[in-house]
Amino acid sequence: MPSANARIVLTGAGGQFGQTLVACWPDSLLSQYELIPLMRGDLDIADAAAVHSTLDALQPALIINAAAYTAVDKAESEAEAAFAINERGVANLAAASTCPLIHLSTDFVFDGAASTPYAENAATAPLSVYGKSKLAGEKALLAQKPDAMIIRTSWLYSEYGANFVKTMLRLMSERDVLSIVNDQIGSPTSTHSLAAVVCSAASTRLDSAAMPKEPSGIFHWSDGASITWFDFALEIQTQALALGLLKSPCTLKPIPTSEYPTPAARPLYSVMSRARARAEFDCPTNTWQAELKRCLLASS
């Protein structure tokens, strides 16, 4: 069994990634480290005093921060709430921690003006309050803990919580025609594949305890596609019909972003290069279609 001080703290454990990580925590880590999942009710990372007292009590060997304000459109009118968690909350964790920290971030730090996959050192220029708050969190973390790891991801989905896949399944079962944006290009990411990368990063980071500067910095992870939301919806419907999750198809209509206005602007292109993560970590090799199938099977 893990020793009393061999703990890994997971913040944001109630989110879709957090629930996935708890469910698939690998035996290789379980034999050495106890995962301590903390939901917002257990720890509000925006509360600096609570962060300090919690980490002092737990004395973790590693922190995985999945806590975030993720209501992208709501953030446009709730900027203070978004920055409280996504920037100051991250800064609180950095200030209170004496151990390595892995932090999850987003493709929304980019403006979408590129046409080839973004590298980790590509210029950032977020379009939305959400993206700006996440970028501010990255900067706050690296300013205090330059040896931290940041893993940016995109279009995250799972069998848990609210996400594009679950929304599509519901709407496809309710409607005859569905309009889907067809000019935003990105890459879906299953929480299961992201969890595998985070676990590999955790193992690598803990094994590198004597060399605190390696590996560190920013990494990108997605399931490797370069598709539109319309393409994603088509594949969801095709697989859902084959698996019996939908009784009949609905008509999917491609539309431009201009016909689906939202409070927050989205990057029109947010595909990210996975080369650095694949070189450093033991990453899944499944196609994005295979990862989608795994989620749909888990949802059935």
Q: Which of 33, 69, 130, 269 is catalytic?
A: 130
Q: What is the pLDDT of residue 65?
A: 98
Give the pLDDT band of residue 15 (cuts 50, 70, 90): very high
Higher pLDDT, 220 or 161: 220
Kindly state the average pLDDT of the residues 149-169.
Answer: 95
Residue 68, φ and ψ in degrees, nearest 5: -165, 155
Residue 209 pLDDT greater than 60, yes or no: no
State yes or no: pLDDT of 294 exceeds 50.
yes
What are the extents of the domains in the chain?
A: 7-299
pLDDT tier for residue 211 given thresholds of 50, 70 and 90: low
- How far apart are alpha carbons 138 and 150 in whole angstroms? 7
CA of 204: how far to CAs of 5, 58, 197, in Å?
Answer: 19, 22, 10
Q: Does 130 participate in catalysis according to the annotation?
A: yes
pLDDT band at 1 (very low <50, low <70, confident <90, very high): very low
Mean per-residue pLDDT of the chain:
93
pLDDT over 90 (residue 212) = no
3-state secondary structure of 135: helix
- Which architecture characterizes domain 7-299 according to CATH? 3-Layer(aba) Sandwich (3.40)
What's this model's pTM, rounded to 2 decimal places? Answer: 0.93
Look at residue 178 in the predicted model and tell me its pLDDT.
96
Confidence of residue 204 (pLDDT cuts 50, 70, 90): confident
Residue 49 has pLDDT above 70, yes or no: yes
pLDDT tier for residue 215 given thresholds of 50, 70 and 90: confident
Q: What's the pLDDT band for 5 if we cut at 50, 70, 90? A: low
* Percent of the chain residues topping a pLDDT of 70: 96
Whether residue 17 contacts residue 156, with contact meaning beta carbons closer than 8 Å, is answered with yes
Per residue in 70-117, pLDDT tens? Answer: 999 999 999 999 999 999 999 999 999 999 999 999 999 999 999 999
Burial of 52 (0-12, 13-18, 19+ CB in 10 A): middle
